[in-house]
Amino acid sequence: MKITRTEIYRYSIPTEPFVIATGTMHYAQNVLIRMHTSTGLTGIGECSAFPMIVGESQDTCLVMAKEFAGILQGKNPLEIPDRMNDLLGYAAHNSTIKSAFDMALFDIASKQARQPLYQYLGGSKHVVETDMTIGIDTPENMAATATVLKEKGCRIIKVKLGKEVHSDIERVRQIRNAAGPEIALRLDANQGWSFDEALFALGAMEEFDIQFCEQPMRTWYDDKLPELKANSRIKIMADESCYNHHDARKLINSGATDYLNIKFSKSGGILEAQKIHEVALQKGVKCMMGGMLETRIGLSAAMHFALSSPNIIFYDMDTYLLGHLIDPVIGGVSYNGYEISISDAHGIGADADPVFLKTLEHWLV
């Protein structure tokens, strides 16, 4: 089997404005690829650029996608480690757009095996319940959102923080009061605090029964994470500090984190995510399946990976529920309230609506 051509799409998805510590998103800056093979099988891949976190924009992803498509043309898509090494040999980093190619390769391989991707990866089905994220707003508005989510049956709320530390504490105070004691609360500061601010904030928020706090500080303070973890009763989850399995190893060995957040846009896709998961599994460090602003195509791949990864016990897979104004996806994951399920279609089991694709700027390599 050979890769014959690759379609590349500027896959822009309008969204409700979403505010985190590092910026506001008004649309999902996604890229979609469809990889064609000599046997007629096609693979789908999606990535979601978050420039303020990964340093890649939709435009940089598109430029590199054209380069990567040319490198892979004529090669065997079933040799996934070799193909990803081809991309790594050409360009370091660029993990976001690499993840789309990785996803397409795994889609082809599992279709060739006539299996849904989770089975191809050695997994089995179980219940997956996502949290719901509240973007940064006034304490009163965030508490009101928490009340609405609780009324809709949400049991796990993730709170975006990382602006002014005293206001952040008040945000969590009001959300806990509105949500009540039975709702699980998670925090995500998105690198918004300094060491002193993080130490103060986490100490002040112990009383609110917090499950964990993601990425309290900028990555350049990673050397301070062990000290923060040692002095915080709230558990720490590394997100932007963990791109690959080498990051995972160093974080765990230095006692810097309690948990790891795995995202394809950071890892470069499933292949490296497996390595992160394996390092964490060997060390007894639990993981979360996270993401950026993917549509149900990217979420479907994440779901398959999560079902095959026993060390993943937290799920932050709510982007489809957060305010995508359109859903141009056929098949893929479905949501029953906040529980996620996947079909047994071969491969990822999701594709983009061809009518929608005709409206998009695209390239063929």
Q: Which residues are catalytic?
A: 160, 188, 214, 239, 263
d(CA 211, CA 103): 31
User: How far, in Å, CA of 295 to CA of 205, rounded?
Assistant: 33
Tokens linked to 82: 């070799």
Dist. CA 280–CA 245, nearest whole Å = 9
Residues 309 and 286 sit within 8 Å (Cβ to Cβ): no
Report whether 110 contacts 42 (CB < 8 A).
no
Say if residues 211 and 288 touch (Cβ distance below 8 Å).
no
**Calpha distance 44→105 (Å, rounded):** 8
What is the separation of C-alpha 142 from the centre of its chain, rounded to a whole number of angstroms? 23
3-class DSSP assignment, residue 5: strand
| 130 contacts 156 by C-beta, under 8 angstroms | yes
Cα dist. 192→86, 163, 168, 184, 323 in Å? 36, 6, 10, 22, 23
